[in-house]
Chains A and B, each alone.
Chain A
Amino acid sequence: MLGKLALAGIKNRRRDYLVLLAGLTMSAAIFYMFANLATNKAFIKANAVASSASLIFGFGAALLILITIVYIMYANSFLLSMRQHDYGLFMMLGAKRKRIGELVFLETLILGTVATAIGIALGLLMSKFLVGFLLDSLGLHLAHLASFYVPAIIATAVLYVGLFILASLFNLIHLTRTTVLKLLHSDEQANQTQVKPFRQAVAGVLGLVLLGIGYWALAAIKVLQTAAIPLALVTITLGTYLLFRATILMFIRSLRKTAWAKKHLNSFLLGQLNFRVHNYTRMLTIVSLLFAMALGAITVGSGYHRQLPMMAGNFGAYTIAVHDKTAQEQRLIDCLDIRHQATYTQKRQGKMVYYNAAELTKHPFEQLKMTTGDNVKTSYVTESIKKFQKTGPTDMDFLGLATNSQRMLTPKIVSASQFAKQSGKTTTVTTVRVKSLQRDTPTIKKLAKLERQRFSQPAEMTIGSYQSYEMMTGFFGGLEFMGYFLGIAFLAMLASCLMFKILSGAPGDQRRYRMLYKMGVRYQLMRSGIAKEIGILFLIPGIMGIIDVLFGLQMFKPLMQSPMSPYLGIGSTFAIFLGLYAIYYLITLVLYWRIVLPKTAVK
């Protein structure tokens, strides 16, 4: 009988359950996708960037588990808030606590298992299609990426089902310790919090100090080395929490005293926030940190992606070298936005290649000069032929101009008369340096392809910065991909956390909006009131998260060489991220409207 009642309860609230199930499924799917990438040994081996890659994967995995725990906590409290009243009713009707306990346990566990199962299936599909799509759009080709990987399935299943067992136990304890009456009226209580100005002020100052320490630690990662990250994590978390506690309540209270608060539903909005924000402080802290991590991951990932062509200038003296250019190649070269171009005649004999000194005097070979130290500056210089005679033949870029299938030929610069007499195969080589590799990539790609078709050469013998860039793209591929991937996963989970936390307050709000409706508040006003309230709850961690990221990016400064900077072009990354965040806000808002706004006729 009780089982029937429980089923009926779920049926009546199937829409709420669907939301919950969808969120959990998504989370499980993302976790699977991630676990697959993080644990798939064949994939990691094939794409191992450096020893740092495994560190990043490990760090990502740990963070993801952490977020998952938080996420399930909030999803669970949403579930509990939905069912509390029903359980109270069952107990009132005489159901034994033990039976109810079993019911709660089973219900949570079944929901979790179903969500995990669907999630893994969805994760398999996502790994197959989404990951491929993401890699394609990044221009990466990662080897040995299988969507089906048994250890990852096991890891996902064990983690999720394990967490749900914990959640069920928590529900069990919570329900059996609460009295029937409390359960029945659980949605009617509102706790008002006392504000103690002195304590608040101390907490606020302490929060600021801790935040300061955290941000300093991130900036000083060179000095502190690996100690910087845990130090920053602890201080920023605590600092954000204290600052929220201290300032938000005070701010709302002072707003309530203004004339603005007495217009339309503003007093109601502030009242709602006032007694909500206190509960939400811990939550908002976590969310703002997750927000920062997600945004940071995406920013760094896309930073590498976008700035690699910029770095490419450091890879060589010319972008590409074309031998015996054909008419087709010439047409392609004409399309380029060229900064420097020179053509040299070579005579190749055996292991030697001869150059005409007169030609080199007329069109000196450009060399790449880099300053050493923190702030690397690059410049392109030319030298007098006399000087070049000494250094030129050992310059890697110069050497690269003449290779056969096994090795680089030894260059020798001879006078014009000697060059004329020199026997050997005559070829010409044209070096091209473009203004922006980024802009001309498609054309250069075609050129490089043609060149490779005509003169096959080993991959590690690069000719020009374009080919080095191609290699580096693969090199940074894993890192970059991780950035996007982690960022999206974090965002999905953090926004879902926030969504569930807010939605779990919805049943209580139902009554309040019913009252407002009876008092004659227009629908439009209630709608916009809810939009503002939820908007503020989304905005607070958003702003805090952005500040965290702006400071947090300091950490990556030592990793990115000087023309690159973690702060370059973050605007568009932020915009995409905020767009995704806004979508979550809209979903939450629409769901909230549906749950909370009264239907027109009284039941």
Chain B
Amino acid sequence: MTTSNAVVSVAGLEKTYGKANERQYKALKDINFQVAKGEFVGIMGASGSGKTTLLNMLSTLDTPTKGDVIVNGHDVTKMRGNQLADFRAEEVGFIFQDFNLLESLTAEENIGLPLALKGTSSRVMDQAIHEVAETLSIADLLQKYPAELSGGQKQRVAAARAIVHHPSILMGDEPTGALDSTSARELLDLLTTINQKQAMSVLLVTHDPFSASFCQRILFIKDGQIGSELRRENQDRSAFYQEILNELGTFNE
């Protein structure tokens, strides 16, 4: 069922924790879904539902017990060692709840890191950094250290670092979790802009209905399984937000 324009294609994914002779726990059970190129997809679920485990499988931070994960044509379940590292460095952009910026580096150096890893020349790197900084309106913050930035600013720097090398997919793990409501809205608007203008696929993992309402499609996950799916279609965001709340009301019962 793989369609040619899918960036992420997950089939029969399972993850079991614990060894064969111990008490086993199935974190994910038979997950199947796809993310089309340029799509903005959300994965919602309560704590412990398995959404972070799923994201870790997709981003190769963890290995599945069974099933296939194909990202931009690469079967990540068959990769080993350096291949995995290179895959993460080239194909995936990450935004985390706790920013994960390196506090010993300036914003500019943080943003440039993915390019430096590729061995990009410093001229090209400078250009790329300034372009992305312009897009995210953080050009005046480049020389500052993370400790000198507010939460919202930090997350924008993190977003810049995530997209500076043009990955095939941007993954966010509760990126608004540590932000105040204004900063959260700004970041989500930014992600929408990046998604639309650069046609970058975005996969957002969240438990927050407000964040989820920025997505085009939402997968609800519960006890390690995808329970239902919502599409925004042509509704405006607040209507979609209401729909999500309704869905959550019944989904969590």
Q: Do A and B come from one complex?
A: yes
A520 B117 Cβ-Cβ under 8 A: yes
Kindly state whether residue B149 has any CB partner on chain A within 8 Å: no
* 0/1 interface trace, chain B 83-122, chain A, CB 8 Å (1 if under): 0111111101010100011111110010011111101111
- A-side contacts of B119, CB under 8 Å: 263-264
Within the assembled complex, what's the spacing in Å between the Cα atoms of A267 and B89? 16
Within the assembled complex, what's the spacing in Å between the Cα atoms of A68 and B228? 66
A270 to chain B, nearest CB (A): 9
- B-side contacts of A521, CB under 8 Å: 85, 89, 117
B62 A601 Cβ-Cβ under 8 A: yes
Within the assembled complex, what's the spacing in Å between the Cα atoms of A29 and B210? 64
Within the assembled complex, what's the spacing in Å between the Cα atoms of A519 and B84? 11
A97 to chain B, nearest CB (A): 28
Interface residues of B in 31-73 (CB under 8 A from A): 56, 59, 61-63
- B-side contacts of A524, CB under 8 Å: 82
Kindly report which residue of chain B lies nearest to residue A603, judged by CB atoms.
Answer: B62
B116 A519 Cβ-Cβ under 8 A: no
- B-side contacts of A525, CB under 8 Å: 117
Kindly state whether residue B239 has any CB partner on chain A within 8 Å: no
Interface residues of A in 514-560 (CB under 8 A from B): 515-525
What band does the interface of chain A fall in when counting residues whose beta carbon is under 8 Å from B?
A: 20 to 34
B82 A522 Cβ-Cβ under 8 A: yes
A519 B88 Cβ-Cβ under 8 A: yes
A519 B105 Cβ-Cβ under 8 A: no
Within the assembled complex, what's the spacing in Å between the Cα atoms of A519 and B161? 10
- B-side contacts of A517, CB under 8 Å: 85
B82 A602 Cβ-Cβ under 8 A: no
B81 A519 Cβ-Cβ under 8 A: no
Within the assembled complex, what's the spacing in Å between the Cα atoms of A602 and B113? 22
B63 to chain A, nearest CB (A): 7
A268 B105 Cβ-Cβ under 8 A: yes
Kindly state whether residue A564 has any CB partner on chain B within 8 Å: no
Within the assembled complex, what's the spacing in Å between the Cα atoms of A135 and B120? 59
**Which of B85, B96, B145 is packed against the most chain A CB atoms within 10 Å?**
B85
Kindly report which residue of chain B lies nearest to residue A525, judged by CB atoms.
Answer: B117
- B-side contacts of A265, CB under 8 Å: 116-117
Kindly report which residue of chain B lies nearest to residue A190, judged by CB atoms.
Answer: B103
B113 A267 Cβ-Cβ under 8 A: yes
Q: What are the 3 closest A-B residue pairs judged by CB atoms, nearest first?
A: A520-B89, A520-B88, A271-B104
Using a CB–CB cutoff of 8 Å, the interface residues on chain B facing chain A are 56, 59, 61-63, 81-82, 84-90, 92, 94, 96, 100-106, 109, 112-117, 119-122, 125, 145, 147-148
Selected A-B contacts with CB under 8 Å, 22 pairs = A190-B145, A190-B147, A192-B145, A192-B148, A263-B119, A263-B122, A264-B117, A268-B104, A268-B113, A272-B104, A275-B103, A515-B100, A518-B59, A518-B61, A518-B94, A519-B114, A520-B88, A520-B90, A520-B117, A521-B85, A522-B85, A522-B86
